[in-house]
Each structure stands twice: as structure tokens, then as C-alpha cells.
Chain A
């Protein structure tokens, strides 16, 4: 709102000047408004923050994808067969679920698989929120023009 008022004021002066020296009115207004917006945008802290945050979000998207890819695939499934517990690694391959026999597994290893499963779910959620952030920030910046 303030920018519009200032622009109107500047254009008013420029119009007087334009009338005096014989310039066309409209090109002068467009020129002044464009110059004003360029100057204003270069020192607008909100825009600066949005640009910085978009860069951060994009970098994080890459990092979280790498972090997910770095986690071992599959989940450990316990099956009780004839009173004994055996573990299988369940994972997807080509759209199908596969089970790989792991035999008897140490409790620490079971905990490690559980921790990886929780982390993968967490990272996926965060990846989804980063995508929302990226979309939002792109919209904010596009609305004002890149």
C-alpha cells in the first residue's frame, strides 16, 4: 500500500515534469514504477529471506533424499515357527514384496533395524514437508515476479 502511495506521488511529480518537457505520460509512469519496484525489491528483507529459505529448502531436499537412500532397505519381520523365532528381511523389489531369511538375529541388530525403520518414516515425513515449503516459497517469489 505504501509503495503504491509513494509511486503515485513520484509519478505525480514526474507527470508534471513530463508535461513540462513534453514526454508521453504513460511510458513515464511505467518507467518510474519499474525503477521503484526494482529498487524496493533489492532491499526488501522479506524477499531476501524467502530467497535464502528457498535455497535452504532445495539443499535440504537433496540431503534428506540422500539420507533415506543411505539407510538399509527393508524391515525385519519376526516369525514364530514350531516355537522358535526366526527373522526375515521384508523389502520391495520391482513392486513385489520379498522376504529374505535372516535366521536368528541378535537383539541389538533387531533394535538397529527398528531404529532405521523409524528414521526412514521420519525422513519421509520431513521430505514431504520440505516439498510443501518449496511450493509455498516458489509461490511467494513468483507472485512478486522473479
Chain B
């Protein structure tokens, strides 16, 4: 297996292709790679950034409003990516170094399925709670690309929220650790009131799940109760 640098370089090459194709601006980078790019943005120490996997998750905030039609699979074909269509119809682009997943916020009620993104020639997984990540996104410039990331406050609380729904313990632990790390970095930047503000604007059930997820992290619980 190749080293981390080769994977990061390959990731940057993929992002450059998406950027030159004019499509990178449609995506927010989430998942385990968020920790890596966010750690480049902040001077605070984010633990567990080395635990990024090959999965690279792109959130499409507005699946119905893609500005420039681009064949995403075609952009990356010569790098060796192939298209995998998963059971329920969701598209994934796979390569031994990286696997690109496309996600979209689930609108309304119903089972989690897929949303066809006509302009991009892909079907994105439709997943709950992702709307939370689309508000107040930030942009960072790294390695020649400008990547859109969710706001760290939203991302941290979202990680804690979804950790309560995880059935696999190791994924739960990874979500919590990344969420804790990002939220602590926000606190270190002196913006703890933003965490409390977002937390108190969430539905009661979500708040309850977040409080359950923060069990044991007294410093973070103190911030949330500080309103």
C-alpha cells in the first residue's frame, strides 16, 4: 500500500480535475477527509486526522441546481476511476487510492435512497441530517485548489448527532473523536458561543441525541449549557 503523501497528492489531483471542470464549487467535502483539510485551515491540533479512509464524501448542497453540466466520471476516467453502481442505484467512483461518494440531503420523509444529479451524470445517496452541513460553509485554499467545507461548528455537532445512530462501535468512536476534535478547535478559537447558538436552534430530538453523544466530554457539555 502506498504512503499517505501519495494518497494526498492523488486526492489533490482529483480535486484539481473537478476544479478545472468547473464542478468543485458544487461540492462540500465531508467525511473523514474533512479532518485533514480542516487541520490545514486551523492552527489547532485536530486528533485522529490520520484516520482518514479511502472514502471521500462530497455533499451536493443543491442537487436540483447544478450550474454547469459536467460528466464527472468522464473527468476522472483517465486516472483509472471506474463507476460502481451500488445496490440501490447510488453511483460511486472507485480507484485503489480513493473512492468518491456523492451525498445529498434527504428532503421530506421517506426511506433513504438516491437523488439523480442530472447535470453531473451521477446518483447521490440521499441521507438525513445533511442540511445542517450546508449552512455557513467555509472555503479553504490548499495545494492549488479551493475546497468548500462545512462550517466547523455545524460539522462538529453533526458528527456527534450521527454518532448516536451508528451501530458499529468503531465508526461511532471515529465520529465522536473527529466531532470532539473539531468542536474543541472552535472553542480554542474563542467561538464557543457559536456552538451553543447552533445547538439551541436545533430540534429537541436532535439536541437530546447530541447531549447523549457528548457523554463524558464535560468541557463540551459545559459550553452547550452555557447559554
Interface residues of A (CB under 8 A from B): 42-49, 52-53, 56-57, 59-60, 63-64, 67, 118-119, 122-123, 125-126, 129-130, 132-133, 136-137
Contact = CB atoms under 8 A, between A and B. Distances in A.
Contacts of B99: 56
Interface in B37-55: 48, 51, 53-54
Nearest to A133: B1
B51 A45 contact: yes
A133 B96 contact: yes
A67 B80 CA distance: 10
A56 B53 CA distance: 11
B96 A126 contact: yes
Given A49-B53, A53-B54, A133-B1, A44 B170 contact: yes
Given A63-B84, A123-B80, A126-B95, A56 B173 contact: no
Choose among A44, A49, A133 the residue with the greatest number of B CB atoms under 10 Å from its CB: A49
For chain B, the bracket of interface size reads 20 to 34
Interface of B: 1-2, 48, 51, 53-54, 77-78, 80, 82, 84, 94-96, 99, 168-171, 173-174, 177
Contacts of B171: 48
B80 A122 contact: yes
Contact of A129 (B51, B96, B169, B173): B96
Contact of A48 (B48, B80, B174): B174
A63 B85 CA distance: 10
Contacts of A56: 54, 94, 99
A27 B60 CA distance: 56
A123 B171 CA distance: 31
